[in-house]
Amino acid sequence: MIMVQALLIAGVDAADLRTYPLEEQCVYTVRLGVNQPTTCVFPGPLKALVGANISAKPDEHPGILLSHEPGAEFFSLRAMKEDATGAMNVVFRGKVYALAFTTVAEPDQAVVFLDAPLVGRPRPLPEAGVLQELLDRSKQLGRLQQQYPGMKPAAERLQPNTVIRYRDFAAVIEEVTRFDAEDALAFRVRLENPGDAAVVYDPQSLAIRVGREIFPAALAEASGSIPPRSSAWIHLLVAGAPGRGRANLSVRENFNLIVAHP
């Protein structure tokens, strides 16, 4: 997680940072470029790297140039020609993971391999402090983007402005931010009350629905009331899929907000 955050701080766009679970049965395809390096990061120090058409010595004229310090948890690669391909076995914690490399015009800037599986094994939610930090970061990113429109966000963000209409009010999903390493989505929602009386809702029962699946809020900042002829805002976070591990929801999903109200 620390390495992912460091990569984002270093300027790696969230759209160019890929994350994968560690699975011995998989062969991971990593996209390389000629004009920029691609960094692969594992959860701990690497035991050995065994590659084909890959070398750390430029004078050997390999198809792919490798940069790696013994004992480091990451390595970097760069294609030396437009059509370079290669393969590598990574020995990590007594297991072997297979990587295949191809050269493309738009390469991956960073590929992060995670201990947590994408599906299957349940995992606990991040700790309360981590959840609060993610929610605070999502709000800060929005403010910084408004102040500095040319700044690249450090996480994937989308402003869908999806409108969900209820009997007495409307909910507008203004912004969705994804934190990939934590498999969490932060939502900023505007609640609009056109009536003459306040609308009361239950802030403890907020949830996000995607298709038939419901994802309860892991953390929510909500007052529980919408003033008459006014608006109120909700900030909520969903993390993973309850009892099933990672959910891997994209910011481009068709989200629906569930608000329990009388």
pLDDT tens by residue, 147-194: 555 555 557 889 999 999 998 999 999 999 998 878 899 999 999 999
Mean pLDDT across the stretch 127-137? 84
Question: The pTM is what?
Answer: 0.54
The architecture that CATH gives domain 128-258 is Sandwich (2.60)
Highest mean pLDDT, choosing among 91-95, 108-112, 212-216, 233-237: 233-237
Distances (CA, A) of 97 to 42, 52, 69: 11, 14, 19
pLDDT digits (tens, 9 = 90+) for 10-53: 444 444 577 777 877 778 889 999 999 999 999 889 999 999 99
**What are the domain boundaries of the chain?**
2-114, 128-258
Average pLDDT over residues 102-124: 71
3-class DSSP state for residue 89? strand
- Mean pLDDT, residues 251-256: 93
Picking from 20, 18, 14, the residue whose alpha carbon sits closest to that of residue 158 is 14
Tell me whether the CATH fold assigned to 2-114 matches the one assigned to 128-258: yes
Contact of 124 with 116, CB cutoff 8 Å: no
Helix (H, G, I), strand (E, B) or coil at 88: strand
Given this model, what pLDDT does residue 24 score? 76
Q: Give CA 145 to chain center in angstroms.
A: 18
Helix (H) or strand (E) holding 136: helix 128-147
Say if residue 142's pLDDT is above 70. Answer: no
- Fold classification of 2-114 (topology level): Immunoglobulin-like (2.60.40)
Mean pLDDT (whole number) for 203-213: 89
Provide mean pLDDT across the span 120-130.
60
Strands 54-55 and 64-67: parallel
Structure-block tokens of residue 26: 């998989």
Read off the pLDDT of each residue in 237-246 and give the average, rounded to a whole number: 76
Residue 207 exposed, middle or buried by CB count within 10 Å (0-12, 13-18, 19+): middle
